[in-house]
Amino acid sequence: MTSAVSITDLHVTIAGSHVLQGVSIEVPVGGVTALLGRNGVGKTTTLRALLGLVPSTGAISVLGTDVRGWPTHRIVRLGVGYVPEDRDVFAGLTVAENLRLAERIDEPRYDDVYAIFPELRERTRQRAGTLSGGQQQMVSIARALLNGWPLLLVDEPSKGLAPRLVSELADTLERVATLATVLLVEQNLAVVRRLAQRIVVLDHGEVVHAGDAVELEDPELARRFLGVTGVR
């Protein structure tokens, strides 16, 4: 298996809108691949289609297995952790219950999770809905790490976080990336530059560029594909 994820000619239509128009992406095993693009170009939809959360056509292979038509829970059980865009912690459940729900192996890796997020150990009985945004993000990432899955899909983890927390988050994701292949959707280019080895740029539901993350040093590419200027 050379690709952790292989997507070929992926199409998604939502409420009559042709959101993904033939997306093809290869995510090699190991490291961080960043999925970039302006708002609304289909990055989150790509992750959701990968997990079977939205109907799609095209070929999708996850960790070497063709998952076309599979229900979401079966795809996840191949070894996929998911950190959604808005964290999606279960607000009415405690932190412990949120984590318990994510347990899919006999000996979940609580020690690893608490080593990365020691604060969560002290908040196990707190309702997730009463946590701060940063703490909710910890729960969301912890759920994805608990089973030691080989592939993580992480959607805009820095969204809505204070700058100090973004830096801590990048530290965490850097450690996570040593344990698993990460497909990262992220708008914060500083985070992407720090973490990613490869980039895939989407625009209007199509892949318009794929290459090495070092290309982000080129201001012209950033301006042309991402609509940002003066990035460093």
The single-letter DSSP state of residue 93 is: S
- Block residue for tokens 């530290």: 171
> Looking at beta carbons only, is 146 or 170 nearer to another protein?
146
Binding of another protein at residue 51 (CB under 8 A)?
A: yes
Beta-strand relationship, 198-203 and 32-36: parallel
Q: 132 burial class (0-12, 13-18, 19+ CB within 10 angstroms)? A: exposed
Which two three-digit tokens encode residue 65?
């297995």
Q: Is 97 in the site for another protein (CB under 8 A)?
A: yes
CB nearer another protein, residue 40 or residue 129: 129
154 and 86 Cβ atoms separated by less than 8 Å: no
**CA separation for the pair 160, 183 (Å, rounded):** 20
When the beta carbons of 103 and 174 are compared against another protein, the nearer one is 103
- The yes or no reply on residue 69 touching another protein (CB under 8 A) is no
| Closest C-alpha among 95, 101, 156, 173 to residue 131 | 95
Q: Is 90 in the site for another protein (CB under 8 A)?
A: yes
H or E, element range at 155: strand 151-155
Minimum CB separation from another protein for residue 90, in Å? Answer: 4
- Answer for which of 18, 68, 73, 223 binds another protein (CB under 8 A) is 73
Minimum CB distance to another protein smaller for 74 or for 121: 74
Q: Is 76 in the site for another protein (CB under 8 A)?
A: yes
The tally of CA atoms less than 13 A away on the side-chain side of residue 158 is: 22
Q: Which one of 5-13, 23-31, 84-92, 192-200 is the stretch in contact with another protein (CB under 8 A)?
A: 84-92
Exactly one of 104, 109, 193, 194 binds another protein (CB under 8 A); that residue is 104
Q: Which residues bind another protein (CB under 8 A)?
A: 51, 53, 71-73, 76-77, 82, 84, 88, 90-93, 97-98, 100-102, 104, 143
